[in-house]
Structure 1
Amino acid sequence: MASIRRRPNKDGTATYQVRWRENGDWQAEKFGDEDSADAFKKLVDAHGQQWPPGWAKGKGFVEDDTTPGDMPLVAWAHRVIDRLTGIDDRVRYDYKRDIDNHLSIIRHTQPSGRVVEATIGNLNSDDVHDWVRAKESGQRDPDNPEVWLRKPASPKSIANWHGMLSSIVQAAMQADPPLRSKNCCTGTRLPRVDDGIDDEMCFLEHDEYRRISEEIKDPHARDLADWLVGTGMRWGEATALQVRDINLTRNCVSVQRAWKRAAPGTGGPAYFLGPPKTKRARRVIALTETQMSMLRRRMAGKKPEDLLFETPLGKAWRHDNFWRRRWVPAVEAAITKGLPKRPRIHDLRHTHVAWLIAERIPLPAIQARLGHESITTTVDRYGHLVQALDGEIRAAVEAAMNVPAPREGIRRVV
């Protein structure tokens, strides 16, 4: 039979220890009051001098919310990423990095309030909402409130990580046998992307871009900047263009490849040429006579596999090099002369879209030119710029609403 021992504390209180022998070894559990100790003693006796099922030493009864085949969320996420097909090693590495840096902080709160490790089986919608709020608010150092242990994440980043988490949970639903019956990410209220006071995209007027272009002294760099803003191509696509991609008869360029970053530890070059970002990114872009003239100049004396845009030393451009040595100095010089914006290199792509929309180019045509996989992407990013068509829309609505009514006295023919 189990017994209870009262142990006095120095402050005048007492703890109560329940002791019993289990398979010849002494076992013990402490309580702060005699009634709790007595209740536990009766459970031990009722179970034949064994720990009561579900009881964790020092914690009490722990909810059993595990699922057969369950595993830690991060372990399951890595397993899902490892089995993805159609992605290169760098993308797989980036996915795993985001899992380790961001999904790893997700915790599961049991009905009792106890916080435990999140698994693919016990994760619920409350856990997901708690994680979203934690990423949105960040975490300060309790010893130094001026220091961030984890900086607040942007709404776009949170949405991207949440989308990845949803896909990982969906994979658990489709596993054989299934590890879940529903997707706990469905219905999550995410921070609005437009809640911030800073615009994520910067659009340049023609004169504003001209100010920057005039400050780029290197003609090779200026050609590349003009090409980016004049075609809307991604950096990795433009700097991977080769002579053979240009059609001199039809005045167009074919996007067939892009620079890719190699995964760390592969032992090879840091960058390599691979397929474009998506299937629709393989596209043909119409060019102006001015652009063709610049290309003919750059194609002179080159072989079909040579790069069109190179550094003055004939090397491939690298984003960091162009940004630090060409772009930033030109932007800063333009700002000192009155430029009111501080654009990034990628904002040249956004600027290209703004110029097209200003000329009444339909969004589906812009989608094809940019290589967006879905028209939804184009609308979500640039749909607000179509307000420039408000005048045409008002005229069309007014014309439709002001159709003259039939005059009285005219016999209706049945």
Structure 2
Amino acid sequence: MERPKKDGTSTFQVKWRQDGEWQSEKFGDGDSADAFKRLVEAHGGKWPHGWVRGEGFVEKPKVPGDMPFVRYAERYVDRLTGIDVRTREDYHREIRIHLSLLQRTEPSGQVAPATICNVESDDITDWVRLEEKGEPDPNDAGRWLRRKADPKSIANRHGLMFCVFQSAVEATPQLRTTNPCKGTRLPRLDDHVDEEMTFLEHDEYQRVRAEISDPDARDLADWLVGTGMRWGEATALRVKDINLSAAVPTASVQRAWKKAKKGAEGGAYYIGPPKTKKARRLIALAPAQADLARRLTAGQPPEAFLFRTPTGKAWRHANYYNRKWMPAVAEAVKKGLPKRPRLHDLRHTHASWLIAANIPLPAIQIRLGHESISTTVDRYGHLVRSLDGDITAAVEAAMHTAVPAAGGLRVVGA
């Protein structure tokens, strides 16, 4: 498009739509404009690679040590210490499926592969939006090529990305001066509905328990709801972890089942450390759990698992869940149980029973092995109702405090 100027000369403008927005570039002669137009067409209606608006092709100086972002992220994860095999595999999966979506968009609109040095904060924001939106299958309206990510997943992946870029900031020699993830506006964690926790009343648990016909499976359910242990912790307990001679009998949580990549660590599951440092703990046993442990440890060697299948082997989650727990829940629902609890809801139920008995949240945090009190408060704080009366009374008293009489006051003139 030729645009005449007042001085008799002309400028030539190339104009096109890219991603729903008008883009344009100006030239001093028609030949240059035509050549650029062909470049845009060759790039599928997008800015040519390496072109900077108003400047043309500009090759940016390469930063020594720069490399593709994904490769740098993988190297970062490979060099992490203090994490188990499963965690490292999880990080690599997040990089491969999600962090690899990160790309660099130049001010001109040109899109380039992300490197550890060229990414800016706007690129991180674009990545967050991409995670929120997902990728529907263009050939099937009911399917997704990549599902929308919930706010918690986005926050976790953004946290990993932050650490990757921060390592580039702290590298010697330094690869970046700033972390582009700093200050990213993430989706609010309470803007979605999590899979709802189910809390069973005492009689509701008994209705499910009554439908578990296998006594070994019933013992394990009683232990889970009576101690609040995670499945992987309870089923990894050994006889030597039980202390029944103390004034208050205890169970020592020192290990847990972990799921590994097939072929790693000798199979799909292996025994490893608990979920967090604070998950290593002593759990006081109520008389019912102490009696159960006394019966299960009788005549067993120290290395034997505390909970064993009828054939003497350790329980596997899928086997227990599908063959023992879910059939019992289904029968209880048929007979009028108004809830459909998951196996992990026994842990939530244990916490709710402690809260109902006015046990302080910090004590519950220690018993459940939460790394932070904020986790305990976020999950179970809404159940704490014991102080409602005191709170409303304090508000009532404050709202009805009488205003002091002004008879004893006087105004002093200047």
Q: TM-score, normalised by structure 2?
A: 0.80
Q: State the partner residue of 1:360.
A: 358
Q: State the partner residue of 1:343.
A: 341
Cα offset, 1:377, TM superposition: 1.9
Does the aligned pair in 2 maintain the 1:159–1:190 contact within 8 Å?
yes
Note the alpha carbon deviations across 1:30-71, whole angstroms, 9 max, x for none. Answer: xx952436999xxxxxxxxxxxxx669xx9525637533111
Q: State the partner residue of 2:160.
A: 164
Over 3 Å counting, the alpha-carbon distance change for 1:298 and 1:168 in structure 2 is same
Q: State the partner residue of 2:278.
A: 280
- Of 109-118 and 205-214, deviating more is 205-214
Cα offset, 1:257, TM superposition: 1.2
1:260 alignment partner, SS class: strand
Among 326, 329, 351, the residue aligned to 2:327: 329
Q: 2 CA distance for matches of 1:361 and 1:407?
A: 44
- Of 397-406 and 262-271, deviating more is 397-406
Q: 2 CA distance for matches of 1:278 and 1:107?
A: 34
Cα offset, 1:284, TM superposition: 0.8
Q: State the partner residue of 2:147.
A: 151
Among 114, 132, 135, the residue aligned to 2:131: 135
Note the alpha carbon deviations across 1:97-140, whole angstroms, 9 max, x for none. Answer: 11111111122211111111111212222222222222222111
2:271 alignment partner, SS class: strand
Matched, 1:176 2:167: no
Q: 1 CA distance for matches of 2:80 and 2:282?
A: 29
Q: CA RMSD in A?
A: 3.0
Q: 2 CA distance for matches of 1:61 and 1:200?
A: 54
1:146 alignment partner, SS class: coil
Among 241, 249, 265, the residue aligned to 1:251: 249
Q: State the partner residue of 1:307.
A: 305
Unaligned 5+ segments in structure 1 are 1-31, 41-53, 410-414
Q: State the partner residue of 1:46.
A: none
Over 3 Å counting, the alpha-carbon distance change for 1:381 and 1:267 in structure 2 is closer
Cα offset, 1:183, TM superposition: 2.1
Does the aligned pair in 2 maintain the 1:66–1:122 contact within 8 Å?
no
Over 3 Å counting, the alpha-carbon distance change for 1:33 and 1:253 in structure 2 is same
1:108 alignment partner, SS class: strand
Cα offset, 1:315, TM superposition: 0.6
Does the aligned pair in 2 maintain the 1:360–1:389 contact within 8 Å?
no
Q: 1 CA distance for matches of 2:354 and 2:63?
A: 54
Cα offset, 1:234, TM superposition: 1.0
Give the residue type in structure 1 aligned to 2:187.
P
Give the residue type in structure 2 aligned to 1:34.
D
Q: 2 CA distance for matches of 1:71 and 1:198?
A: 38
Over 3 Å counting, the alpha-carbon distance change for 1:101 and 1:299 in structure 2 is same
Q: 1 CA distance for matches of 2:226 and 2:334?
A: 25
Among 31, 36, 40, the residue aligned to 1:34: 31
Cα offset, 1:401, TM superposition: 8.0
Q: How does 1:211-230 map to 2 (within 5 A)?
A: 211-230=207-226
Does the aligned pair in 1 maintain the 2:135–2:145 contact within 8 Å?
yes
Q: 2 CA distance for matches of 1:340 and 1:38?
A: 71
Over 3 Å counting, the alpha-carbon distance change for 1:70 and 1:292 in structure 2 is same
Q: State the partner residue of 1:375.
A: 373
Unaligned 5+ segments in structure 2 are 1-28, 38-49, 408-414
Note the alpha carbon deviations across 1:201-252, whole angstroms, 9 max, x for none. Answer: 2222223222221221111111111111111111111001111111112311
Q: 2 CA distance for matches of 1:109 and 1:259?
A: 44
Cα offset, 1:148, TM superposition: 1.1
Give the residue type in structure 1 aligned to 2:319.
N
Q: TM-score, normalised by structure 1?
A: 0.80
Note the alpha carbon deviations across 1:185-209, whole angstroms, 9 max, x for none. Answer: 2222222333234544222222322
Q: 2 CA distance for matches of 1:64 and 1:311?
A: 65
- Of 241-250 and 137-146, deviating more is 137-146
Matched, 1:98 2:85: no
Q: State the partner residue of 1:71.
A: 67
Does the aligned pair in 1 maintain the 2:51–2:110 contact within 8 Å?
no
Over 3 Å counting, the alpha-carbon distance change for 1:178 and 1:207 in structure 2 is farther
- Of 269-278 and 78-87, deviating more is 269-278
Cα offset, 1:272, TM superposition: 2.2
Q: State the partner residue of 2:82.
A: 86
Over 3 Å counting, the alpha-carbon distance change for 1:324 and 1:60 in structure 2 is farther
Q: 1 CA distance for matches of 2:353 and 2:344?
A: 15
Q: State the partner residue of 1:19.
A: none
Give the residue type in structure 2 aligned to 1:343.
P
Q: 2 CA distance for matches of 1:39 and 1:194?
A: 48
Give the residue type in structure 2 aligned to 1:175.
A
Over 3 Å counting, the alpha-carbon distance change for 1:308 and 1:65 in structure 2 is farther
